[in-house]
A = this chain, B = another copy of it.
Amino acid sequence: MPKKTKRTTKTTQPSAKAKRTSRAKKNGAAGPKLEQLARSVVEMALRDEDPTVAIPTRALSNVRYNEKTRYVEMGGGKQSRSFFNFGQAKRFMQTLLVASKCKELAEMGKTASIRQIYYMCKHTIKGTNEKTFDDQSESDPIIEDLEVAVNALREELHVFASNRGNLVGPITLVDDGNTLDCAAMGSAGYPVPSIVEADVIQFKKCSAKFILHVEKDTVWRRFHEDRFWETHQCILSHGGGQPARGMRRLLRRMHEELNLPLFVLLDNDPWGYYIYSVIKHGSINLAYESRRMAVPDAKFIGVSAFDYDRCGLSDDVKLDLDASDIKRSKQILAYPWFKKKRAWAREIKKMISNGFKMEVEALISKDLSYLTEEYVPMKLKDKKQWLD
């Protein structure tokens, strides 16, 4: 069991005035940054220069691991996008178009999904047959470009993704003005929205001692039904697979603002290792978000490749490891943020030598409540079994 730590709990429900202020802040969040982008383009044009925007490069080549912060971070590489460049003109136009729609959203105080942004921006350019966007696959990366270009979070641009993931536990929070006791929200718990910034969600009260994050909703339900969060006084969350931005950001906020240790329980396969990597250090594609989404102190408590022997599991838990699993595991092992960790090298090599993977759910082949009553309590108690 993790050491009990004193927690600061951010308190009080926002007053009507605070709500208005928060709403104003919400509306204006990225507005000035977007305006600044537009102004600089206009000024270049007025100076008879080629209007250009500089976009930081989002690619593996421009990602580095910061050993001090333990974040996967973006490097300084930039690409420029110019109006009078034949190969860049369309993307230049698209960038400014998406920016202008985000500005509109901010002014209206409304949000839109990435698909809605696509439809808002799509039109046929007057006097031509040329469309601004042919497909959503063109507008999605532009939104990410814009995030890094103006250094605004997607949420500040008023763009949301599908929400995914739920939690349950002794925490009371205010979401969109509604006070919610997450220990009393029914059988599916509290659904974590896509936008969880402080102007939408405030923490009011929390008596949890730690967070247990599991990979899948069906595993989460097993823990919820066994009232694990009550017995162990913790927040129990799942991300429905790889956690979406909303869930990652909320895990980070609870870890940081409520001082809650984070434990992660995932399948013993390359996908599980990768999910852990993303939760802990950040992802390559969203490296510019690591500083607000990663939880470098997160601990991996299982399922470990060593658990097969350690826990006396039967062959029924084994799933075949194929060539692509092995290749992917080796890639993960080669990440700069895994490379120096001896315990992780041992773990991944053990899985490869096992020749099989294991799902969290497989452990119930021992007994339906083995996971909640024996396995996880044992893991939480024995720090030596944690992987960092």
Q: Chain A residues in contact with chain B, CB under 8 A?
A: 104-105, 108, 110-113, 115-116, 119-120, 122-124, 131, 160, 162-163, 166, 175-176, 178, 180, 184-193, 195, 200-201, 217-218, 221-222, 225-226, 240, 314-317, 359, 361-362, 364-365, 368-369
Residues of chain B with a CB closer than 8 A to A160's CB: 218, 221
Q: Nearest-CB distance from A301 to chain B (Å)?
A: 20
Residues of chain B with a CB closer than 8 A to A184's CB: 178
- How long is the Cα–Cα vector from A190 to B240 in the complex, in angstroms? 17
Q: Which residue of B lies closest to A122 (CB)?
A: B316
* Given pairs A162-B240, A187-B200, A189-B191, 17 additional interface contacts (CB within 8 A): A105-B368, A112-B364, A116-B218, A119-B361, A119-B364, A119-B365, A122-B365, A160-B218, A160-B221, A162-B218, A166-B191, A175-B188, A186-B190, A186-B191, A186-B193, A186-B201, A190-B191
Q: Which residue of B lies closest to A166 (CB)?
A: B191
Residues of chain B with a CB closer than 8 A to A240's CB: 162
Q: Which residue of B lies closest to A173 (CB)?
A: B186
| B316 x A113 contact (CB < 8 A) | no
| B178 x A316 contact (CB < 8 A) | no
- How long is the Cα–Cα vector from A178 to B182 in the complex, in angstroms? 10
Given the known A-B contacts A178-B186, A184-B178, are A365 and B120 also in contact in the complex, defined by CB atoms under 8 Å?
yes
| B115 x A218 contact (CB < 8 A) | yes
| B116 x A364 contact (CB < 8 A) | yes
| B120 x A368 contact (CB < 8 A) | yes
Cross-chain contact of A180 among B119, B123, B185, B369 (Cβ < 8 A): B185
